[in-house]
Chain A
Amino acid sequence: MQNSALIKTENLEKTYSLGLTSLKAPDDVTLTVTRGEFLGLVGPSGSGKTTLLNIIGSLDAPTSGTAEVLGRRIDSLSQKEAAGLRNGHIGFIFQTFNLLPVYTVYENVEFPLLLQGVESSRRRQLVEEALEWVGLADRADSRPVQLSGGQGQRVAIARAIVKKPEIVLADEPTANLDAANSHHIMRTMVQLNEELGTTFVFATHDEKVIGYLKRKITLIDGRISKDERSDQPPLAVR
């Protein structure tokens, strides 16, 4: 099971219309991601990293080609099935954290479990565990506006992992953080990857993130230009 393919794309393309011209990004992307990987899609802006991540997360649909996540074809999922896939199996971490502003830290982390219909005592246990993992157990009653950027992103991580998803998709998770917070966040995610076996897929061009990746797929103009693996990434072993 350790090496089974969680994500598979074949000749995946997404075409954007730009007035008289059009742009393809990703363009003919074929890749396979196995369980437990700590993988990054890197490349300059406009290279299709976020779009690829969104398609994998069933938030967007490809123009052509196929994307299969946990054995399910993304382009053939209904809106409800896609929501079910995201709710049950995928965690998202966004560049701007996207915490629900009127909820407390606890309620934000609890939210995916409420959608899953997890029973109250189990929910409490899972939320407390997730907050322990990210070191924010003492801020459970705070509101997002009362948190620093680093704390906000750690809440987003807790929210992404609280339901113990197979895949966590992180789009530029450190873009709004300073160096110290970025390293703290990345170390947290490395630890989660190692302890829970969760597969992480990042879209980033931040060198601090890249330093932690075990697999780095470089996209240039929408196409995969390099696919490099490293068992011991330089920052992760520090």
Chain B
Amino acid sequence: MLTLKLAARNILSAGLRTWLNVAALSFAFVSIIFLQGLYEGLNDQVERSTVDALFGGGQYWQNAYGPFDPLSLEDAHAPIPPPLRKLVSDTSATSILIRPATFYPHGRFRSILLKGIDPGQTILSVPSHLLRTGHDELPGLIGARMAKGAGLKKGDVVTVRWRDTHGTYDARDVSIVEVFRTSVQDIDNEQVWIPLDRLQELTHLPDQATIVVVNRSAVPLNEVPGWEFKDLGFLLRDLHSLVRMKSVQGSIMYLFLLFLAMLAIFDTQILSIWRRRKEIGTLMALGMTRGGVIELFTMEGAFHSVLAAILGSCYGIPLFAYAASLGFELPAGTDNFGVTIGQRLFPVYSPALIIGTTLLVCVVTTIVSFLPTRTIAKLKPVDALRGKLV
């Protein structure tokens, strides 16, 4: 308690020297949390958007379906079994039929996935309600990336060709009813969404689907023969590893900032011990043990981080709140980063991030403050009084 009191008194009485260190350290605190918040935000946003647009609360896959195996798609369909049908009729799930097809925009051809979705579904954020046109023509919905790549716009009519269940080629003109913007590339690139019942009819696959997406409150069924439930842990696996990989790059900056902050503290301690060696001798002459002096100097270093945390919170918390509420507009081109990022990135500053980072920096600061004080352990009081260091 005495050391704590003395350390507080020492650093508060040191005036500008203390505050310069505290300001530098607080900047490191805020920068580290700020950057980590951006990565948390990225992680959060990617996950949320993907779940909303693609995964819902999990998916039942027809056994033959493999999203990364285009050859499997021909056979990846089956009648929706009664338990899943019940979920669909309860609006707790929506079924999607996926068929490989060829698209002919402006005379060129593109291999695409033709996806049939219920226009009345509310489980995914795909704007499927736009497919409810009331006309006979086959309505199609495409994403902005697909539209850009194919040179299409709303109102264009494009021929789509597919093979029905008997292997016979068939084709229709699709009228593009809307080009939607989405940050989730997996519902956009090389895909055309059409009404589920029309796709089932055109491919002679009545009441069949490839996947059934359940909502987030649905309880997974025990076992559905021919179908396998994939939970969000499984579905988001690749996304998490991608985000983790990107976070490693962020960690380099994190470590760099932490290193700079620690260097500042280390230098301060070295300088402080060198400049105050006579004072160290005086403290020993007055009856302070070497351990006491080491404790005092270490505590002083640690106090810098406590003050830095207080100062940092004074300007950091409003800054974080502002950044989290308004987000940052992302420059054009970030759509192609490979992860799902919206037009604005909203950082996430969770209490765990703020408290965790603050504690980590305080602990590391204390350790770094302690390292130079080991010199004192070898110091004789007489040498210290003469201004000598070991």
Contact = CB atoms under 8 A, between A and B. Distances in A.
Interface of A: 54, 57, 59-60, 79-80, 83-84, 86-88, 92, 94, 96, 98, 100-103, 107, 111-112, 114-117, 159
B287 A79 contact: no
Interface residues of B, number: 25
A98 B288 contact: no
B2 A83 contact: no
B279 A100 contact: yes
A59 B382 contact: yes
B382 to A, nearest CB: 5
Given A103-B13, A114-B2, A114-B6, A98 B289 contact: no
B165 interface: no
A189 B5 CA distance: 32
Contacts of B284: 59, 83, 86
A80 B385 CA distance: 18
B310 interface: no
Nearest to A169: B285
A100 B284 CA distance: 12
Given A60-B380, A83-B284, A112-B287, A98 B9 contact: no
B286 A115 contact: yes
A60 to B, nearest CB: 5
Contacts of A115: 2, 286-288
A150 B301 CA distance: 34
Contact of A54 (B2, B278, B382): B382
A112 B382 contact: no
A178 B290 CA distance: 35
B313 interface: no
Given A54-B382, A102-B10, A117-B2, A79 B282 contact: no
A92 B380 CA distance: 16
Nearest to B13: A102
8 contacts: A59-B382, A60-B380, A79-B289, A83-B288, A86-B284, A94-B285, A100-B283, A115-B2
Interface in B270-286: 278-279, 281-286
A84 B290 CA distance: 12
B287 A87 contact: yes
B136 to A, nearest CB: 88
Given A60-B381, A98-B281, 9 more contacts: A59-B284, A79-B290, A83-B287, A83-B290, A83-B292, A92-B286, A98-B279, A98-B282, A107-B9
B382 A60 contact: yes
B381 A84 contact: no
B14 interface: yes
Contacts of A54: 382
B385 A98 contact: yes
Contacts of A103: 9, 13
Contacts of B2: 114-115, 117
A59 B381 contact: yes
Given A98-B385, A103-B9, A114-B2, A84 B287 contact: yes
Interface in B250-308: 278-279, 281-292
